[in-house]
Amino acid sequence: MSDLTKAAARHAELVREINHHSRLYYTEDAPQISDHDYDQMMQQLLALELEFPTLQSPESPSQRVGSEPLAEFAQIKHELPMLSLSNGFTDDDIREFDTRLHKEIGLGEATVIEYVAEPKLDGLAVSILYVDGVLEYAATRGDGRVGEDITQNVKTIRSVPLTLPKGAPARLEVRGEVFMRLAGFAELNRVQADNGKKVFVNPRNAAAGSLRQLDSKITADRPLDIFIYSTGVISDSEFAVTHAQTLERLGRLGFPICPLLQVVNDVDGCLEYYHEMGARRPELDYEIDGIVYKVNRLDWQRAAGFIAKAPRWALAHKFPAQEKTTQVNDIDVQVGRTGAITPVARLEPLFVGGVTVSNVTLHNKAEVARLDVRVGDTVIVRRAGDVIPQIVGVNLEARPASAKPYEFPVSCPVCGSDVVTEGDGIIARCSGGLTCGAQVRQGIKHFVSRKAMDIDGMGDKIVDALVEQALVSTVADLYLLSFDQVLALEGFAEKSAQNLLAAIDKSKQTEFARLLYALGIPQVGETTADQLAAHFGTMARLKAAKQEALEALPDIGPVVAKNIVDFFHDPNNLKVISQLQDRGVTYDVVAAPNPDEFAELPLAGEVVVLTGALSAMGRTEAKKRLQALGAKVTGSVSKNTTLVIAGEDAGSKAAKAAELGVRIEGEDYLMRLLA
């Protein structure tokens, strides 16, 4: 086979695949592969056509925009074609783009091109025509030539003006991106899931699916938004001389324009903007998948002109992918400290959203069932911002015939006890309690952790070894370990064994709040433990507390209160607590434990948040002393907060406080309070 024949075969295969996925994505709003995979196929196609130009035909997806409009919609022919954008991925791609433009426009090397840099919104393009100041129709891009009539749907988007002020051009077509903000997207998916309806893979698909509805009442209920980024046909030939001016004038006519766009000079200006936006991307409340650079001068745009499917004067500089595809090698479950069984997908490792991902939580039994993810499946993995990676979709077409639905275990894989379900079958739990090795191990790891008993040097591997060798079966057993037992563990020498025992010994003298948190009562985190400690003061008082007394505390609801009561009724737990006491674990009683006295304290009723670094003392120390004066000290700012102490480099908490109008003071004020 000649090279050309081979290339032609590969080309035909790519065209088939790309057309298929374009249809799924553009026409049906139901993509089966990630954008990254799609872009790679497109790049391969472009490379083949560059090497073998005879393979390129006007029918090739490299020359065409989008996909054909859906037949159910009336069609609208665009007066000016709606094009796509050429893509760049590296800094060099941007340099080449700028160099090429100099030639195409006929500029000397020394001439600086001014660009408008704009976030590339991840939604779908629409064209809206106004005639004599009134919205006449709106259309999707479709295949670039003919789009779908979505006039009624676009009219439901609140930020789209239905009429324009006087002075608007008699015929004005604007183009922009319809998108969905993240909060709206999350809420929509929650409602969809609650009603047993399809949840959307990402905000782009949710926006596209919501806008391309035959019933505009459905669109009206969806949280859609729009930013306008250009004009199409326009009766006023003197509307503007630069792109920035176009946007400015459109803004004055009442169109929403992305507030983040910026005029920049040269490649360096483009790249600087790109990196700045890349850093801000996780904070934005909508998704952007890159930056678009557009030549600012309209006469230079005209001089540069177009290629088949995109303008020469613009480039989309893509950000690293937040969604990629990979294989599920296995699905297994983890048993947590409280017995909760969490299914986990073991993946063929992939690099996505800036990290390598090989395990992804599937959250719970219901989520596995909803996704119907199976071993051997090809899945779309998404990691956006700081959010933990997630499987958002399964490519059913790539499912091997042998793949079987995942069967959730009926007995605990660690101890063999029955698995019971709670919360309408959503959460599965091992019923083994303290007989379950996994629960014991997780419980001990929690007990020794930094914010709990803080036993320095007691890493996960050591805990695993202690439990495996049956040296420890409850947290109280830690205080019985002998020098010889520790020395015999793998990796220990005399010195290190002494150090570990010293750390265990040191932990015996602790604070009540730490001890409470360390016990691992379900849903009792640090803040709740602090509150309980400050209010009850001693274990004996807390043990005796009734459900109502617990619920009377500000942040404790009925569920947590019941967890606490249940915990102190379990004979195993009571035994462990008395063993801890017998083996020397004690705590200082800091605050006056009597609730009546408590109300008299100078800072009673104050809810304080500490943020930033303090110079005179550590935060733990400051917190203890504030609590001793009756204040409640919490970890996050809310409307209940009465005071924020902002130390050096205070960050988002201070900002939140300012936003909520909460009083903010510096360290000097704290020192006066404590004096």
Helix residue ranges, H only, 81-214:
91-105, 151-155, 182-194, 203-211
- Closest approach, Cβ 415 to Zn ion, in A, equals 3
Among residue numbers 538 through 597, which ones bind ligand NAD (CB under 6 A)? none
Q: Which stretch binds ligand NAD (CB under 6 A): 32-40, 527-535, 588-596, 611-619?
A: 32-40
Nearer to Zn ion, 463 or 631 (CB): 463
By CB under 6 A, is residue 324 in contact with ligand NAD?
no
Q: How far apart are CA 25 and CA 393, in angstroms?
A: 14
Q: How far is the CB of 437 from Zn ion (least distance, A)?
A: 7
Q: Closer to Zn ion by CB, 216 or 421: give it.
A: 421
Extract the runs of DSSP E, i.e. beta strands, from 75-223: 75-77, 87-88, 114-121, 124-131, 134-140, 146-148, 171-180
Catalytic residue among 6, 77, 103, 120: 120
Distance CA 387, CA 390 (A): 9
- Residue 335 binds to ligand NAD (criterion: CB under 6 A): no
Annotated active-site residue 120? The verdict is: yes
- 365 annotated as ligand-binding: no
Residues comprising the chain, all counted: 675
Would the annotation count 4 as a binding residue?
A: no
- Residue 33 interacting with ligand NAD (CB under 6 A): yes
38 labelled binding-site residue:
yes
Segment interacting with ligand NAD (CB under 6 A) among 25-33, 334-342, 364-372, 387-395:
25-33
In the set 432, 520, 537, 630, which binds Zn ion (CB under 5 A)? 432
Query: What distance in Å separates the CA atoms of residue 638 and residue 303, rounded to the nearest whole number?
Result: 56
Nearer to Zn ion by C-beta: 324 or 441? 441
> CB of 316: closest distance to ligand NAD in angstroms?
5
What is the per-residue DSSP string for 382-405?
E--TTSPPEEEEE-GGG--TT--P
Was 318 annotated as part of a binding site?
A: yes
Compute the distance between CA of residue 578 and CA of residue 583 in angstroms, rounded to an integer.
9
β-pairing, 171-180 vs 124-131, is antiparallel
Q: Which of these segments, 92-100, 415-423, 469-477, 624-632, binds Zn ion (CB under 5 A)?
A: 415-423
The entry of Zn ion, ligand NAD, none near residue 121 (CB within 5 to 8 angstroms by kind) is ligand NAD
Q: Does 212 bind ligand NAD (CB under 6 A)?
A: no
Residue 432 site contact among Zn ion, ligand NAD, none (CB < 5 to 8 Å, cut-off depends on kind): Zn ion
What track of x and - describes contact with ligand NAD for positions 227 through 256 (by CB under 6 A)?
Answer: --x---------------------------
Backbone angles phi and psi of 662, in degrees to 5 = -80, 145
Which span (251-259, 392-400, 423-431, 656-664) binds Zn ion, by CB under 5 A?
Answer: 423-431
Of the listed pieces 24-32, 129-137, 274-282, 418-426, which binds ligand NAD according to CB under 6 A? Answer: 24-32
Sequence-distant (6+) residues with CB within 8 A of 342 are 333, 334, 336, 361, 362, 363, 364
Quote the tokens at residue 670: 């704290």
269 binds ligand NAD (CB under 6 A): no
Which of Zn ion, ligand NAD, none does 414 bind, CB closer than 5 to 8 A by kind?
A: Zn ion
Q: Is the CB of 138 or the CB of 438 nearer to Zn ion?
A: 438
39 is in an annotated binding site: yes
Q: Cα dist. 633→602, 608, 621 in Å?
A: 14, 5, 12
Handedness of CA 205, 208, 213, 216 (dihedral sign): positive
- Between CA 219 and CA 225 the distance in angstroms is 11
Sign of CA dihedral 200, 206, 212, 218: positive
User: Alpha-carbon dihedral of residues 351, 394, 200, 429, nearest 10 degrees?
Assistant: -90
Choose among 265, 249, 266: nearest CA to 257. Answer: 249
Which of these, 418, 399, 398, 400, lies nearest to 408 by C-alpha position?
418
Tell me, rounded to whole angstroms, the distance of Cα 408 from its chain centroid: 27
Contact 211, 127 (CB under 8 A): no
Decide: is 225 part of the binding site for ligand NAD (CB under 6 A).
no
Annotated binding site for Zn(2+): 412, 415, 436
Annotated binding site for NAD(+): 35-39, 84-85, 118, 141, 177, 294, 318
Annotated binding site: 35-39, 84-85, 118, 141, 177, 294, 318, 412, 415, 436
Positions touching Zn ion (CB under 5 A) are 412, 414-415, 417, 430, 432, 436
Positions touching ligand NAD (CB under 6 A) are 21-22, 24-25, 31, 33-35, 38-39, 65-66, 84-85, 87, 118, 120-121, 124-125, 141, 177, 229, 292, 316
